[in-house]
């Protein structure tokens, strides 16, 4: 893949790095706007980082900041694939590149059980969803399409493949997990 073809991803990486240089908390709306610009174009994602696995969804690393301040990943969903209920423990943004996803937000009740928070919402190409622990970052996500692969691009305020997070069950069990990445190397070197 030529350098010019991944220019949108490189520009996005540089924009997020510049946003994180500013003092104070991350400007999540600015991150979302930058991600919206990235997912408005579809020619930059190399086919290898868009490849589904029939057994489970794929989390392909696209870019990891050298200081691990943020990571960018493609989530590739074959028909019928989705996540368990989980959190992120950091800020994040999800942008829909191809296909569609259904995201169901959750909240914890006083006893620590997860309850749906509002109706599920559908992300279509170009849509962006923002996540933060303060505003709520517990959700489940699934491919909305029964007959096609869907791909979303995520940016997180950590090396999400090595970051400890939590899985929740409806009966109140909570487990820590680390998601990891697919076997592919990062598509773009870090900032």
Amino acid 191: pLDDT: 54
pTM for the structure as a whole:
0.93
List the pLDDT tens digit at each of the 191 positions of the chain.
Answer: 444 489 999 999 999 999 999 988 999 999 999 999 999 999 999 999 999 999 999 999 999 999 999 999 999 999 999 999 999 999 999 999 999 999 999 999 988 889 999 999 999 999 999 999 988 889 999 999 999 999 999 999 999 999 999 999 988 899 999 999 999 999 987 65
Going 118 to 123 to 128 to 130, the CA torsion angle's sign is: positive
Q: Which tens digit of pLDDT belongs to each residue from 152-176?
A: 999 999 999 999 999 999 888 999 9
Domains of the chain, earliest start first: 3-177 (2.60.120.10)
């Amino acid at each position: 893949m030529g350098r010019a073809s991944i220019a949108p991803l490189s520009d996005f990486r540089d924009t997020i790095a510049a946003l994180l240089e500013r003092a104070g908390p991350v400007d999540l709306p600015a991150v979302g706007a930058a991600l919206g610009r990235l997912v408005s174009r579809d020619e930059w994602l190399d086919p290898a980082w868009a490849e589904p696995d029939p057994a489970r969804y794929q989390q392909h690393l696209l870019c990891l900041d050298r200081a691990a301040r943020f990571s960018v990943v493609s989530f590739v969903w074959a028909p019928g694939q989705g996540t368990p209920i989980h959190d992120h423990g950091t800020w994040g943004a999800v942008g829909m590149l191809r296909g569609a996803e259904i995201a169901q937000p959750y909240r914890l009740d006083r006893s620590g059980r997860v309850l749906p928070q509002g109706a599920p919402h559908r992300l279509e190409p170009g849509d962006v969803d923002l996540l933060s622990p303060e505003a709520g970052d517990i959700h489940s996500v699934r491919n909305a399409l029964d007959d096609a692969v869907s791909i979303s691009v995520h940016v997180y305020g950590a090396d999400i493949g090595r970051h400890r997070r939590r899985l929740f069950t409806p009966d109140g069990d909570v487990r820590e997990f680390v998601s990891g990445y697919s076997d592919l190397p990062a598509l773009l070197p870090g900032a």
